[in-house]
Chains A and B, each alone.
Chain A
Amino acid sequence: MRRRGSRRVAVIGAGLSRFVRRALETGKELSYYAAGQALESAGVRRRDVEAVVMASAPDAFDGQHMKGEYLLDGAGAYRKPYFRVYVGGGSGVFSIISGWTLVASGMFDLVLVVAEEKMSPTQPHPQAAFITIFDHTIERPLGPNLLWIFALEQTRYMQTYGIRNEEIALVSVKNKRNALGHPASQVAEAVTVEQVLASEVVAWPVHRLMVSPVSDGAAAIVLASERVARRLSPRPVWVEGIGWSLDTSYWGNRDLAYPRYVEQAARMAYAMAGITDPRREIHVVEPYDPFAYKELHHLEGLLLADRGKAAEDLVRGRFDREGALPSSPSGGLLGVGNPIAAAGLMKVCEIFWQLRGEAGPRQVPNAPRRGLAQAWGDLMQIGTVVVLGV
């Protein structure tokens, strides 16, 4: 990658719908709501937006073919350049990366990025739709679902580094508690490690409270070129680094103990942001946490913890809101909820609010100047990373 000097790009507004198990609103309406809030917070009108990027995960959830086309008017893209970008569960954080290219290329000055997910139309449960993500010849005949393969990955992670399930349960405790301060949250609660481990085993060693819920929701941000951002925004938050990496489709051949694709993505973003010592230079982080172990797995992939040691750091309080490196201060997917693409962009929104000092009861101390949001998806295969700074 060349990473030559390109135009600076800023986030100047963010919006979020409530995350709920079953929204009465259509996907278009959820998109409209989040986009409207983002535009309002940026102080711009829908008609000033020059282009729109949409992110949403599989069409199978809604049974809506070409879902991006269906959502386009709700997202405010009527008669505008618009496209839907897609990297499975990583789409939410990828959407800001794509939006960055629209502005950094010099083609547009004001771009709206919307991420929407409506999982509830899948009956009786969205897990049924996930059978269709597997290889039609090699894997589908086995009838796998996501809980099984993530249980495999968690087991491998625990076994390789000698991590105990009590330590992993602590991620759920931390994130669900953090989410108590989040107005959009679906499953915030004060729980103990004992309660997490007493919850039903969905696929050993994964307990129900270690899994993010099924959610409907939408998130949006407004991106602007430097010239426009300085005119419109008192506190623009700059996109300092972007990175993404997709590993092989043959996940069964990989060592699941370490997400090397997340490391690749992080290294790309750090190089662009000029970060050489991420543990000192990143002040707040939102790693993707659809499952409790994933937050630890990802903190290691992001080079923010030693391999196999993130659990120890967690136990010592390093990742608490008041800790040395607050992790998922929003409450993450485990606390706020997981409307897949929207959950990724929600993490970007949280970093935006944290860096502007606008996170209210969730605000981390010491006025963080640089934050990172990361998402993950496909067949345990993609890492998407964005570094924001003020």
Chain B
Amino acid sequence: MDNLVAIAGIGLTPLRPVSPDLSFRELVFEAATRAYADAGVDPRDVDGVVTVAEDLHEGTSITDEYTPDQLGAVLKPVQTVAGDGLQGLAAACLLIRSGAADVVVVEAHSKASNVLEHEEVLAMALDPTYERPWGLDPHAVAALEMRRYLHEAGVPERAVAEVVVANRRRALRNPFAAYGADLTVEQVLTDTVVADPLRAAMVSQTADGAVVLVLAAPETARALRGRPVMVRGIGWASDEPSLSGRPWAEATYAHLAAAMAYRDAGLRAPGREVDLFEVDDTYAHKQLQHLEAALGLPPGGALREGAALAAADRVNASGGHLGMGYGYDASALVRVAVTALQVRGEAGPMQVPGVRTAVVLSWRGVPTTTGGAVVLGAA
């Protein structure tokens, strides 16, 4: 039990397609205020802060310069992880597990509406020598992957469209979601082609928002006001960065990250022991791939063995990125926040009954092969 970390406070702003009335600092201030109030923590008592940000998403170089003030963290040990929300969560957990800190705040935000050409920014993540000269639209990378996945897994396009319909519909019950909608499979399958076979409705749309979590060592968390949720295990991993060398049908990074988190949590049979899976669905087919990783299944397993889970609302009850909106690296931490609410039984209309153990599985998006996994449990 020594290696447990508690989520002692949760602060999340509702995600929105645009937020012209608020700067990112104001969004973060709002989330931080909620998190500190939820935990009953004075920001002066925080020992360390981890923020999650990438320069080119922020439009500011060395963007960690602008992190301390709105969190009440001036002259504190503040660090940034230029990575996924779950990698930021991992860095925060490490501070507590190493004994360096008792109370740590982790923050992520998205002001995606400020990014005029999302695809052009993403294209700059491709290898400058070997990959950029092709002039690829990054969504085409996802489409290539989807094509290979459908082929190897024997999954029909219709099954991918069903993911979209289900997630957008679930988001109608999620007060934090920006893209709740009642669609039909035909509407998804006849939507504009982004890059064959990827349809526009299969791509999550960007959203603005901020999330702050207050973490604490378990004994400290118990003394606080909030209702703690335990981080039972955490994992993260990266696969081959080049497009030419990576596996295309299987999310190897997600398998590695999930295995690490399960090992850390002592979780042996995720299909039986986990009540709720929140897996990345930046593109609809990724939900199937990532669910396979979370359950340790080969390509195609999500449809065969994961179908019952999905039918029972035990997969992406939040509506996922497709339903909530995609906020770059903040997305994963947003999913942790709504999942922690599920474990607390405080998820409102989207509450899944009896969630005691939940898994969040993340991906950094095209063109990366980096992802994370976390096992949350009731205190």
Residue positions of A touching B, CB distance < 8 A: 1-7, 26, 57-60, 62-70, 72-73, 77-89, 94, 97-98, 100-102, 104-107, 129-130, 132-133, 135-136, 242-250, 260-261, 264-265, 268, 377-379, 381-382
Q: A69-B368, A79-B237, A268-B77 are in contact. Are A6 and B61 (CB under 8 A)?
A: no
How many chain B residues touch A (CB < 8 A): the figure is 67
- Contact across chains for B239 and A1 when beta carbons are under 8 A apart: no
Which residues does chain B contribute within 8 Å of A260, judged by CB atoms? 75
Minimal Cβ-Cβ distance residue in A for B67: A246
- B20 CB within 8 Å of chain A: no
- B148 CB within 8 Å of chain A: no
- Contact across chains for B121 and A65 when beta carbons are under 8 A apart: yes
Min C-beta distance of A387 to chain B, whole Å: 14
- Contact across chains for B75 and A66 when beta carbons are under 8 A apart: no
- Contact across chains for A248 and B74 when beta carbons are under 8 A apart: yes
- B79 CB within 8 Å of chain A: yes
Bound: A85/B64 CA distance, A: 10
Q: A3-B100, A65-B121, A377-B62 are in contact. Are A246 and B77 (CB under 8 A)?
A: yes
Bound: A78/B370 CA distance, A: 10
- Contact across chains for B65 and A378 when beta carbons are under 8 A apart: yes
Quick one: which of B74, B101, B125 contacts A65, CB cutoff 8 A? B125
Q: A6-B98, A81-B235, A82-B238 are in contact. Are A243 and B77 (CB under 8 A)?
A: yes
- B78 CB within 8 Å of chain A: yes
- B33 CB within 8 Å of chain A: no
- B264 CB within 8 Å of chain A: yes
Over the window 75-104 of chain B, the binary record of Cβ atoms lying under 8 Å from chain A Cβ atoms (1 yes, 0 no) is 111111111000100110111011111100
Q: A85-B91, A101-B94, A105-B94 are in contact. Are A133 and B60 (CB under 8 A)?
A: yes
Quick one: which of B99, B237, B239, B369 contacts A2, CB cutoff 8 A? B99
- Contact across chains for A66 and B100 when beta carbons are under 8 A apart: no
Q: In this complex, which of B56, B93, B257 has the most chain A Cβ atoms within 10 angstroms of its Cβ?
A: B56
Residue positions of B touching A, CB distance < 8 A: 3, 47-48, 53-56, 59-62, 64-69, 73-83, 87, 90-91, 93-95, 97-102, 121-122, 124-125, 127-129, 217, 235-242, 252-253, 256-257, 260, 264, 364, 367-370
- Contact across chains for B47 and A86 when beta carbons are under 8 A apart: no
Min C-beta distance of A240 to chain B, whole Å: 13
Minimal Cβ-Cβ distance residue in A for B96: A105
Minimal Cβ-Cβ distance residue in A for B367: A69
Q: A79-B256, A86-B64, A260-B75 are in contact. Are A26 and B129 (CB under 8 A)?
A: yes
- Contact across chains for B238 and A88 when beta carbons are under 8 A apart: no
A-B contact pairs, 29 of them (CB 8 A): A2-B99, A6-B98, A6-B99, A7-B98, A58-B61, A59-B55, A59-B56, A60-B61, A66-B54, A67-B82, A68-B82, A69-B370, A79-B253, A81-B237, A83-B90, A87-B78, A94-B79, A100-B98, A101-B91, A101-B98, A104-B98, A105-B94, A106-B3, A106-B97, A107-B264, A133-B65, A245-B76, A249-B66, A249-B68
Which residues does chain B contribute within 8 Å of A1, judged by CB atoms? 47-48, 77, 100-102
Quick one: which of A63, A107, A264 contacts B124, CB cutoff 8 A? A63
Which residues does chain B contribute within 8 Å of A65, judged by CB atoms? 54, 56, 121-122, 124-125
Q: In this complex, which of A77, A83, A381 has the most chain B Cβ atoms within 10 angstroms of its Cβ?
A: A83
